[in-house]
Amino acid sequence: MADETHFGEQTVPLADKQGMVDDVFRSVARRYDLMNDMMSAGIHRAWKNAMVGAVNPPPKGRPGRLEKMSERPFAVLDVAGGTGDIAFKIAAAGGPGTRVTVCDINADMLAVGRERAYEHGLDNVGFEEGNAEDLPYADRSFDCLTIAFGIRNVPRIERALGEFYRVLKIGGRLLCLEFSSVDVPGFDKLYDLYSFQVIPRVGQAVTGDRDAYQYLVESIRKFPKPDAFKRMIEAAGFRRVSVTPMTGGIVALHSGWRL
């Protein structure tokens, strides 16, 4: 039915999904970063670094092309940026002209992010509450938009992709990192075993919320295959869309340009 969607393996009314997703991240916010390291044995850092490499912010000590032309900062929007992992990496890689805005729907995830930014003394990263489906920014505001492990949680993915296109400047780039489909014989079985048998148990032990991590593994399986997601990005208007699978397809980095 048109007004139903998935919440992990469950079929739920479209209008209910966001609230259920919000409950998941409210519950795990304080332990979210620790769990990422434990579940992926730290590999999520390499996946995120690959995305930040693609963002390629103007480096320290050298004004970027855009800054030379117009004195404007290199503006990055990190949607569903949660506790700020991606934003901190981009800010660290970029020069003083790089500004990163984290936009997330969940106040608890943002609160952890703000504390981390304060601890690191970062003043070029901002945290704002907002919904990916209805971004609180003007048309053509950003040079780059990143979203890591966020898009599969958004109930209306097409609507969010339309918003990403709207807020990017002409020549701006979308980079989307998301869990994908393991397609390596043997490894897929191992990955399934680890996902369904180990992750929910570790989630229970570390965060006290098994269901949140059951949702995580189920939502990964429900997310569109890389080629289907590539077509969704193209349908939103993006050009030169490409997909780069990593670690046997556990994750994929999709890239597209607003031209």
Any long-range contacts for 8-15 (C-beta under 8 Å, 24+ apart)? 8/214, 8/215, 8/217, 8/218, 8/219, 8/222, 9/218, 9/222, 14/155, 14/156
Q: How far is the CB of 20 from ligand SAM (least distance, A)?
A: 10
In whole angstroms, give the CA distance from residue 25 to residue 81.
12
DSSP annotation of 131: B
Q: How far is the CB of 48 from ligand SAM (least distance, A)?
A: 7
Residue 97 or 103 with smaller CB distance to ligand SAM: 103
Residue 96 or 208 with smaller CB distance to ligand SAM: 208
Q: Which one of the spans 54-62, 74-82, 136-144, 194-202 is the region binding ligand SAM (CB under 6 A)?
A: 74-82
Inter-residue contact 254 to 233 (CB < 8 Å): yes
In whole angstroms, give the CA distance from residue 52 to residue 94.
10
Site map (CB under 6 A) of ligand SAM, residues 100-129, x = contact:
----xxx--x--------------------
H or E element: which one contains 68? helix 65-70
For residue 202, what are its two tokens? 């570790």
Residues 14-43 that bind ligand SAM (CB under 6 A): 18, 21, 25
For position 172 contacting ligand SAM by CB under 6 A, the verdict is no
Q: How far is the CB of 196 from ligand SAM (least distance, A)?
A: 18
For position 234 contacting ligand SAM by CB under 6 A, the verdict is no
Q: How far is the CB of 153 from ligand SAM (least distance, A)?
A: 4
In whole angstroms, give the CA distance from residue 65 to residue 76.
15
For position 131 contacting ligand SAM by CB under 6 A, the verdict is yes
Binding-site residue total for ligand SAM (CB under 6 A)? Answer: 21
